[in-house]
Amino acid sequence: MATPYALIVLEDIRSTQDEAIARAQQAPVLVVAARQSAGRGRFGRRWETAPRAMAASLAVRPSGWQTAEFSRLSLVAALAGRSALGEGVACKWPNDLVREDSKLAGLLLEASSDLVVIGLGVNLWWPHPPAGFGSLFETDPGPDAAVDLAARWCDELLARIEGGPEDWGREEYRRVCQTIGRAIQWQPDGAGVARDVDGAGRLVVETGLGDIRLSSGEVWEVR
């Protein structure tokens, strides 16, 4: 049975994350907007958005999940986003969805006590995107596309959350994560080759000093 949730649709908003936090209840709440004036990415960075975009944030209290396990939900949300966006989309650890190395979407997870707010921002249509960015559609899909996409993502994400922290989708994520096998760098001065994603959602990286495990909450940027 699908998890019921409240759906809030707004045209313009400062931040879907902030709105979802303000409207959080015991049951999940999904806030969807076409435009954000103060949208943010990880570590408070400003989120660059396309002319036709979707911003969605889900406030949820994950039953059966411990606080220490919440970081895995960023990867769970990425898998749900990939399912909603369709074929040809890959995950870039820890919080991006890409197609042919062009970023289509980004995720943001914020947690406080038992409340988790997971944001998904998608470039739906962007005629002339900056280098490294792309869009889901080649032509403008119209205003209804944002809510439809957000609902598909939310349904998939809530179903996956119900599966619990041990069955979060590690094997699936490993198959669709384009970061694995690549030489990467991360700020401030890290470098190595990504080899795996472990059961806790950490990136296993081979370095000259041996293997290390990177947590998404500790890494500023992977490239």
Q: List the alpha helices (DSSP H) in 86-121.
A: none
**pLDDT tens track, the chain, 223 positions:** 578 999 999 988 899 999 999 999 999 999 999 888 766 655 455 556 789 999 999 999 999 999 999 999 999 999 999 999 998 999 999 999 999 999 999 999 999 999 999 999 999 999 999 999 999 999 999 989 999 999 999 999 999 999 999 999 999 999 999 999 999 988 778 899 999 999 999 999 999 999 999 987 666 567 6
Q: Which of these, 223, 197, 150, 148, lies nearest to 214 by C-alpha position? A: 197
* Residue 1 confidence (pLDDT): 55
Residues 186/90, Cβ–Cβ less than 8 Å: no
Q: Is the dihedral of CA 94, 95, 98, 101 positive or negative?
A: negative
* Residue 108 confidence (pLDDT): 95
Full-model pTM? 0.92
* Residue 219 confidence (pLDDT): 61
Q: Which of these, 30, 49, 28, lies nearest to 39 by C-alpha position? A: 49
Pairing label, strands 29-36, 6-13: parallel
* Residue 189 confidence (pLDDT): 82
- Reading the block at residue 11, the tokens are 């045209």
* Residue 35 confidence (pLDDT): 84
* Residue 48 confidence (pLDDT): 65
The 10s digit of each residue's pLDDT in 33-88 is 988 876 665 545 555 678 999 999 999 999 999 999 999 999 999 999 999 999 89
* Residue 43 confidence (pLDDT): 45
What are the strands of the beta sheet with 190-197, ordered from one edge?
A: 183-186, 190-197, 203-207, 210-214
